[in-house]
Chains A and B, each alone.
Chain A
Amino acid sequence: MTAAFDPPATRGIQAPRAPRRRVGGRRGTNFEMYSWLFMRSSGLVLIVLVLGHLLIMNVLDGGVHRINWGFVAGRWASPFWQIWDLVMLWLAELHGANGLRTVINDYARRDATRFWLQLMLAASVVLILAVGTLVIFTFDPNMS
């Protein structure tokens, strides 16, 4: 192929009627298929977790106006909401990051640009998951 731009999303796609070959990376993993499946399965769970979260936090009973430190402390006193928020944090962050990974692969034209954008994305994911998980596990409702 001599085209100036060969996007990674379609790189390696065979010509029509090419002999059947295993799809995937160099080592024959099926990463993109699992990523596709993850977007759908995590999306299904996130519909319940995120829409429930938005309904409680933004819509019902005055929304953000009733939220303060005490409100958060009251909710995280219950393991139910701790687990809810922990699962929502991990699924939303990974679902979003995987979506952004696809978007970067689609639009970054230079290899160096793509590399640095993906590196920044990966760094932000590590930061957010680490901070979020730490806060949920080490929050002290009696600190006031």
Chain B
Amino acid sequence: MWSWVAHRTTGVLTFFFLFAHVLDTALVRVSPEAYNKVIETYKNPLVNLFEVGLVGAVLFHALNGIRVMLVDFWVSGAKYQRIMLWIIVGVWLLLMIPGVYFMLQRTVSSLFGSSS
């Protein structure tokens, strides 16, 4: 039941993000200056955290989507649905740990690190 709630929540949030993202990218058609001006506002620690949230949400939605498909199409899917939830949570952690490292590397070193 909670995986269903999380699937909905991550899906709806990602859909709203997509709305904004298509419109901001559409600025490439207006002028290079307009696009660059908006993209510059994304290059800060706060938006960087939102990025981590977005990637985490989309990755969960993708992994849980695979699980939903297995439940629907694989004969033993329903039987193993619970263990599959723990598997996707494990895969999510396995991918997010290096992912978050690479995503936050620049922010962390610019905020707390010495000159580099």
Contact = CB atoms under 8 A, between A and B. Distances in A.
Secondary structure call for the B interface: helix
A58 B19 contact: no
- Among B18, B26, B73, B99, the most chain A Cβ lie within 10 Å of the Cβ of B18
Contacts of A3: none
B85 interface: no
A50 B19 contact: no
B79 to A, nearest CB: 19
Contact of B25 (A59, A72, A143, A144): A72
Contact of A135 (B25, B58, B73): B25
B28 interface: yes
Interface of A: 40, 43-44, 46-47, 50-51, 54, 58-60, 62-65, 67-70, 72-73, 89, 92-93, 96-97, 99-100, 103, 124, 128, 131-132, 134-135, 138-139, 143-144
Given A68-B39, A100-B12, A132 B26 contact: yes
Contacts of A135: 25-26, 28-29
Contacts of A70: 32
